[in-house]
Structure 1
Amino acid sequence: MLVADLPSAPWQKVGTDLFHLHGKDYLLVIDYYSNYPEIAQLSSTSAQSVIVHMKGFFARHGIPQSVVSDNGPQYACEEFKEFARQYGFKHITSSPLYPQANGQAEKGVQIVKRLLKKAKDGKTDPHLALLSYRAAPLECGASPAELLMCRKLRTTLPQVQQGHDSNIWMDNKKRLKLKQKMAYDRATKYLEPLCEKDTVRIEGPDCWGRKATVLSEVGPRSYIVETEDGRTVRRNRRSLLKTQEDTDKHSAEEEPEEQKDTPVAHPTEPQAASRMTEPVRRSTRARKPPDRLIENA
């Protein structure tokens, strides 16, 4: 498991994703440092609608240094590239068909969906549900609001004001990250990095049917490969199986040339005859019939 480096300050690195719930589309932006989520209901899933709401988030909390997303059409377009250039943040995309690479946003979607579902089932205010999560302490001992804003949010529940130590919170977060890594690595196998021009098989509906050649590494464990039909695709290391097919192919081409110079040995007729005239061995053990088959005199 590759553990992502924790940012040194709030809202430096954020993850974003879209999700659909109860017939409506939503945009999620979550902070990597504090796990503080921001959501907005979308009138459409176009890039323009996503950019408008993200500008609102950035006007409230500031412009992050990097934004992590998947390769959805809202993010992999010229409009979003221009948005990143204009606002001055680095746009990082995850490997296609590998949502774990954008795990922070995927986990945030699960949390927000669960909050909104419980609010609808209980006929309560969804805004209060979001407020409760933002003000609730995480495993590190601090709430998302405390990590982001360095203050407690007032909720409908009574609170006791206490001092805080951000260094202790960050040490706890790092310890929890390492604990998660150790638990994950127990059931996984280490995959060695790939090099340029390595031959691989791509995981797909037909298992490992497509063969490709590695062109370059574009991110942590994310590679651009070229298939046999000339297409270039991006895949995570987990979806690529390294093979030695080129070496086997060359050896197969050289093998017929060696066989041309070497005469094929055929068995001679006397040898074949000797095998045919070889006596068949029989068992010499004395056979005693059972008593039930012996006729009584």
Structure 2
Amino acid sequence: MERSEHYTLGRKVKVESDHKPLEIINKKSLISAPKRLQRMLLRLQKFDYEIVYKRGLEMYLADTLSRAYLPTVQLQKHDSEDRVLAITDRSKSEKDAESITMSEYANISSDTLKKIKLATSQDEILLKLSKTIKDGWPERDELPPDIQFYHTFRDELVSQDGLIFKGDRIVIPLTLKDEILQRVHSSHIGIQGCYLRTKESLYWPNMMKAIETYIKKCHVCATIQGEQDFFEIDRLHDRKSKEVINKFKAQMARHGIPGMLISDNGPPFEMPVGQQRPFLALLDWRNTPSENIGSSAVQRLMGRRTRTLLPTKSKLLKPSLPTNVKEQLAKRKSLSEFYYNRTAKNIPKINIGETVRIRPFGKEKTWTKAKVDEKVNIRSYQVTTEDGRTYRRNRKHLRRSNEPFIGNNVVDPPNFDNVMTDKPPSAENPKPSADKITPIRRSTRQIKMPKRFEDFNIYK
């Protein structure tokens, strides 16, 4: 395509190839292609082409040219012009495309890499798979039963340096599956969290089912519920307010003063997860991609992942800002709101004068009968019981009743008109007549001066 760029650029080109997997790879996303083909496909992005499979026996022209190639000729210099009949040195990109070491793109320690290579060399299934990748894929029915599963995505499999890759993920031998599951589940981040972290770098058949089966047997995960989002943990040496305030000061100095502080008003967090390597558990939780968002909490906060004990590709540790985060968070919020409100319904209003029953509180068990006096707020009503007591209750604490309301011993509201004040009587409130004035009785008790004032002259 590049050698014939003057003829192929800007035109629809049909490419015939006897490599059938190449036809399938070209139709998939670029990330699904093996590393040794990704650069070739990138260089072909500027062309408008279509790859069609054709048997090698039917490609007569290409077969003839491959056997009648020009001999190696160096640059020949003439007086008038320079002519190039053949290029002996390949470009740097061509050399790089042929010398890609895929294990270098996986951020795995040398010890772990040796362990995977050793287990792969001792795994009979992966040995058959590696041989099939190198020799070529026959039809599915002609494959051994234990590797027929890989036939579906055979175009993504590559064998190199004793390892098998599916795209850019390492295929793990079944003998190391339990060790990988134990390592990825050490922080108890749930089924989705373990799967999302594992599928970024590793692969084995039925990986999701294996993770689900492993985690369902964990008694710690059975007690952990909640949202997998970013949070902080501080150690409290005691439960006094001074200790809590000091910890909050450190958090607020790091993240800013919160507009709202929510607390469950309970004791400090005491779970087995918090007692075993809490900071390592925090590291795993923060790097777990949130469901339905695609990025982890630490990515959204810092713009990059942080290194963990789980093998991670080096490109995943490079800074990369997640896109459409606000839209995805809003979508998740609206989805949660939809499922929460799916069975919810508005409570019907209550009219003034209707008889209701008040929900009991505390140790009471009887719903008290009352009458609605007025609507105080959107969901608040003022009600009066049969014994004359007045309450203000939320609509959800009131239940309609068809019983008659009998208001015995109704206590009238207090009258504040006759309360004495310090204001002098005005013309509107004349003084009572003299015949109705009750004389004020003076006290006849003898007043004695306290002894502590005997040395003082007190003027009356």
Q: Where on the TM-score scale, by shorter chain, does this alignment land: which range?
A: 0.3 to 0.5
The structure with the largest strand share of the pair is 1
**Bigger-Rg structure (1/2):** 2
Normalising by structure 1, what TM-score? 0.42
Which of the pair has the greater relative contact order for Cα pairs under 8 Å at 6+ separation?
1
Normalising by structure 2, what TM-score? 0.29
